[in-house]
């Protein structure tokens, strides 16, 4: 097999390429940040929905006319009062008509608001799904990188609330429709009496908006710090609330330790928020003063108009009402504009995250042949991106097609890391891995993933049904194959004992009656999943039987032939007795292969394997004695 003639382009290595923060920023946020671009993208789905658009326009009119109606009622009542021969009846009638108008407009605006808000919520859910999808499919190396996750972690802030981020921006723009109609009406009315009042209002909006935008820029600049703190606190509280950790937490009295870890994070979080609120409070004082000044100066201007006879008493009452409403409306408008500018920064980050290409692309190679594959590690060295310590050092290993190879070694020897490299979750730092003679770095990722049936050590079923967990999908599930896989994995009897069989939901995360399996049963479930997958050419099992009792373990090994038929196999195992079922054993020590051979050969030789085996054997014998 020629291993050196491979010239096919390699897959990209995003976990390494995006390690540098500046590069990462340039990659993630390559588009220029323009408010209009973000809004255009946000409103593409809204504009397609004619009912949503019509309802927004109707709301703007209804909500915007409400304060104008208030101004109107003051004018009418003051006019009636000032007219000679005013009667309470006439005033009552006028007030009644206005009250009806108020009722109709406010009922209509409330109804329209509720209706549209449901539409906005579903737009947020749609984007939330896209972001989750991105997080679940992006390169594993990125997912495991805390630096990268801090950079992109803010996406949930833009999508997890009804009142902030994407949905909050939709709300603000929707409400701003009403504010604009009011502002126009009130501004025009006041301009007739004195254009200075309207101009002062506009200047207030411009200055307040600029000042608030300044604060929001400061907050955005510190978003990664906030993301990191929130991620750490979120992980801690999730662990504290996880019922699987509940036993240890109580029995080892670890609540104090949790509190001690939590306290500095909370403190840092408080400090950050204090810096934010301080800036906001500093703004609010001059803002209130400016508003009071507009109110006062405006009232003086209007009073002068009345005294000079330019405006009547009824007009004065009306204009004073309009003035106080105008000042509030301008404040509202500035707040809405600033909130839109502020929140769209986060929406923009989120959209950048969703749009970014975060899956290593490329590779034109493909694995020839059918059936079990041959695997060769050629002088492979590896360190995790961002870490200096080599986990694997100049490792060379050949697993012939169809061989059952066991990988053993003490904790931290690099066994799981070797498996991650083999499956293509990481690329080697140096050296190459060949699958049927083809450099694995040239094989497109999805093709590589499809080669393996994997069972990892941290067995974690998802909150779906048992059948969905086995099939790893909710569509076109081959129930007969699920049953067969569960039988081979030794879990069928247990599944049959459940009231809803393979359709039982798992975990209590989503459903109250979710099934909780024991550690060993979870492991069998994961084995069933690896078996269900069709077309796999290699089984990779990281301690697949660690949580199984001795009988269940033996049963699995007896089923090995049907389990592995037509596949090469690599097992990581701590129980050296179980490695007897393997054709060959490879011992990893400090990232290097230090021993290899059959079980009998290695036991006969002086070395770590023999020592480990004899120590384990001693315990077994003592247990049996
Ligand atoms: P084993 O499976 O033999 O117990 P691992 O492959 O899990 O060992 O780990 C080998 C070494 O790599 C350990 O020192 C571990 O701390 C380190 N390591 C594992 N995962 C990561 C990671 N995501 N980032 C940095 N170091 C890691």
Over residues 44-60, the pLDDT tens digits come to 999 998 999 999 999 99
* Predicted local distance difference test score (pLDDT) of residue 403: 93
Is the pLDDT at 6 greater than 50? The verdict is no
Instruction: Tell me, in angstroms, the distance from the centre of ligand 1 to residue 226's CA.
Output: 28
Residue nearest to atom 22 of ligand 1 (CA): 384
- Ligand 1 centroid to Cα of residue 417, in Å, is 6
* Chain centroid offset of residue 564 CA: 37
The Å distance, Cα 363 to ligand 1 centre, comes to: 27
* HEC sequence for 349-363: HHHHHHHCCCCCCCC
Q: Which of 527, 452, 515 is nearest to 482 (CA)?
A: 527
Our mutation pick for probing the ligand 1 site, out of 19, 149, 414, counting the most ligand atoms within 8 A of Cβ, is 414
The whole-angstrom separation of Cα 332 and Cα 341 is: 14
Please check whether residue 442 is in contact with residue 368, taking contact to mean a CB–CB distance below 8 angstroms.
no
- Asked whether residue 205 carries a pLDDT value surpassing 70, the answer given is yes
Pocket test residue of 408, 412, 454, 589 for ligand 1, highest count of atoms within 8 A of CB = 412
Question: DSSP of 544-595, one letter per residue?
Answer: TTTTS-HHHHHHHHHTHHHHHTT-EEEEE-S-GGGGGGSSEEEEEETTEEEE
Which residue lies with its CA nearest to atom 25 of ligand 1?
384
Q: What pLDDT is attached to residue 197?
A: 93
At 62-86, the pLDDT tens digits run 999 999 999 998 888 888 888 887 7
Residue ID of nearest Cα to ligand 1 atom 21: 384
Predicted confidence (pLDDT) at residue 621 exceeds the cutoff of 70:
no
- Residue 127 has a pLDDT of 92
412 CA to middle of ligand 1, Å?
A: 6
Strands 375-382, 430-435: pairing is antiparallel
Atom of ligand 1 nearest to the CA of 409: 3
Give the pLDDT of residue 244: 65
Please tell me the distance from the alpha carbon of residue 268 to that of residue 389, in angstroms, as a whole number.
31
* Res 210 pLDDT > 50: yes
> Hey, whose CA ends up nearest to atom 11 of ligand 1?
412
CA of 411 to the centre of ligand 1 (A): 9
3-class secondary structure, 142: helix
Q: How far is the CA of 181 from the CAs of 261, 542, 567, 606, in angstroms?
A: 52, 65, 71, 88
Residue from 416, 455, 573 whose mutation best tests the ligand 1 pocket (most atoms within 8 A of CB) = 416
- Burial (CB count <10 Å: 0-12, 13-18, 19+), residue 224: middle
| Spatial distance between the Cα atoms of 514 and 198, rounded to a whole number of angstroms | 62
Distance 7 CA to ligand 1 centre (A): 31
Among 182-186, 243-247, 288-292, 446-450, which is the least confidently predicted range?
243-247
Atom 20 in ligand 1: residue holding the nearest Cα = 417
- Which helix H or strand E contains 538, and what residues bound it? strand 538-542
Count of beta carbons in the 10 Å neighbourhood of residue 529? 22
CA nearest ligand 1 atom 27, residue: 384
Cβ atoms of 135 and 151 closer than 8 Å: no
What's the mean pLDDT in 618-622? 55
The pLDDT assigned to 148 comes to 86
344 C-alpha to center of ligand 1: Å? 39
pLDDT at position 7 = 43
**CA-based nearest residue to 331, from 377, 284, 363:** 284
Task: Count Cα neighbours of 505 within 13 Å in the Cβ-side half-sphere.
Answer: 9
Structure confidence at residue 213 (pLDDT): 87
Q: How far is the CA of 389 from the centre of ligand 1 (A)?
A: 10
Nearest atom within ligand 1 for CA of residue 411: 4
Protein residue with its CA nearest to atom 5 in ligand 1: 414
The best mutation among 146, 385, 387, 391 to test binding of ligand 1, ranked by most ligand atoms within 8 Å of the C-beta, falls on 391
pLDDT mean over 89-109: 91
pLDDT of residue 87: 80
Phi/psi for 397 (5° steps) reads -155, 140
Q: For ligand 1, atom 19, name the residue with the nearest CA.
A: 417
- The rounded Å distance from CA 415 to ligand 1 centre is 8
CA of 623 to the centre of ligand 1 (A): 31
Q: Measured in whole angstroms, how far is the alpha carbon of residue 355 from the centre of its chain?
A: 14
When the pLDDT of each residue in the chain is averaged and rounded to a whole number, the result is 87
Tell me which DSSP letter residue 385 carries: T
| pLDDT score at 4 | 47
Q: Which residues form the pocket of ligand 1, taking CB atoms under 6 Å from any ligand atom?
A: 144, 384, 387, 391, 409, 411-417
Q: What is the DSSP string of 244-313?
A: HHHHHHHHTT-HHHHHHHHHHHHHHHHHHHHHHHHHHHHHHHHHHHHHHHHHHHHHHHHHHHHHTTSS-H
Q: Averaged over 538-560, what is the pLDDT?
A: 77
């Amino acid at each position: 097999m020629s291993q050196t003639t491979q010239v096919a382009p390699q897959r990209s290595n995003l976990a390494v390429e995006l390690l540098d923060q500046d590069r990462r920023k340039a990659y993630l946020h390559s588009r220029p940040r323009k408010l209009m671009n973000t809004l255009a993208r946000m409103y593409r789905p809204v504009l397609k929905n004619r009912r949503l658009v019509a309802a927004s326009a109707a709301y703007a009119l209804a909500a915007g006319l409400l304060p104008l109606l208030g101004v109107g009622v003051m004018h009418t009542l003051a006019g009636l009062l000032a007219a000679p021969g005013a009667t309470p009846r006439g005033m009552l009638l006028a007030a009644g008509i206005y009250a009806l108008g108020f009722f109709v407009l406010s009922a209509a605006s409330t109804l329209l608001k509720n209706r549209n808000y449901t539409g906005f919520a579903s737009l947020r859910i749609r984007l939330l799904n896209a972001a989750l999808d991105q997080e679940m499919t992006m390169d594993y190396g990125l997912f495991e990188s805390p630096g990268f996750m801090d950079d992109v972690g803010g996406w949930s802030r833009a999508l997890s609330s009804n009142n902030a981020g994407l949905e909050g921006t939709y709300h603000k723009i929707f409400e701003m429709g009403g504010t604009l109609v009011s502002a126009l009406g009130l501004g025009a009315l006041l301009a007739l009496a004195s254009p200075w009042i309207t101009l002062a209002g506009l200047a207030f909006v411009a200055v307040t908006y600029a000042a608030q935008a300044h604060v929001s820029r400061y907050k955005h600049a510190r978003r990664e710090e906030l993301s990191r703190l929130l991620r750490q606190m979120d992980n801690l509280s999730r662990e504290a609330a996880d019922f699987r950790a509940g036993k240890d937490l109580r029995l080892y009295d670890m609540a104090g330790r949790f509190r001690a870890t939590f306290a500095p994070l909370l403190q840092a979080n408080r400090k950050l928020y204090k810096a934010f609120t301080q800036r906001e409070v500093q703004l609010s004082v001059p803002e209130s003063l400016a508003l009071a000044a507009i109110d006062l100066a405006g009232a003086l201007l209007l009073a002068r108009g009345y005294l000079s006879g330019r405006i009547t008493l009824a007009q004065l009452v009306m204009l004073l009402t309009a003035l106080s409403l105008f000042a509030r409306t301008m404040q509202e408008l500035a707040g809405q504009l600033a909130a839109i500018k502020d929140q769209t920064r986060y929406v923009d980050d989120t959209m950048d995250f969703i749009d970014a290409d975060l899956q290593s692309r490329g590779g034109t190679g493909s694995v020839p042949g059918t059936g079990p594959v041959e695997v060769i590690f050629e002088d492979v060295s590896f360190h995790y991106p961002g870490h200096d310590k080599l986990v694997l050092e100049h490792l060379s290993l050949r697993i012939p097609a169809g061989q059952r190879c066991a990988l053993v070694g003490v904790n931290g020897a690099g066994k799981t890391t070797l498996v991650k490299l083999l499956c293509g979750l990481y690329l080697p730092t140096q050296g190459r891995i060949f699958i049927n003679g083809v450099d694995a770095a040239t094989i497109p990722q999805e093709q590589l993933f499809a080669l393996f049936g994997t069972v990892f050590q941290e067995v974690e079923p998802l909150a779906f049904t048992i059948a969905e967990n086995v099939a790893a999908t909710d569509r076109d599930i081959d129930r007969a194959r699920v049953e067969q896989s569960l039988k081979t994995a030794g879990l069928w009897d247990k599944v049959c004992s459940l009231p809803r069989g393979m359709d039982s939901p798992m975990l209590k995360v989503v459903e109250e009656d979710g099934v909780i399996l024991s550690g060993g049963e979870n492991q069998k479930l994961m084995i069933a999943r690896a078996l269900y997958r069709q077309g796999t050419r290699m089984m990779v099992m990281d301690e697949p039987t660690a949580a199984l009792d001795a009988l269940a373990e033996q049963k699995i090994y007896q089923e090995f032939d049907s389990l592995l038929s037509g596949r090469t196999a690599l097992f990581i195992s701590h129980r050296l007795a179980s490695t007897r079922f393997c054709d060959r054993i490879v011992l990893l020590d400090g990232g290097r292969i230090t021993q290899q051979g059959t079980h009998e050969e290695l036991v006969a030789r002086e070395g770590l394997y023999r020592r480990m085996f004899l120590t384990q054997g001693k315990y077994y014998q003592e247990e049996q004695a």
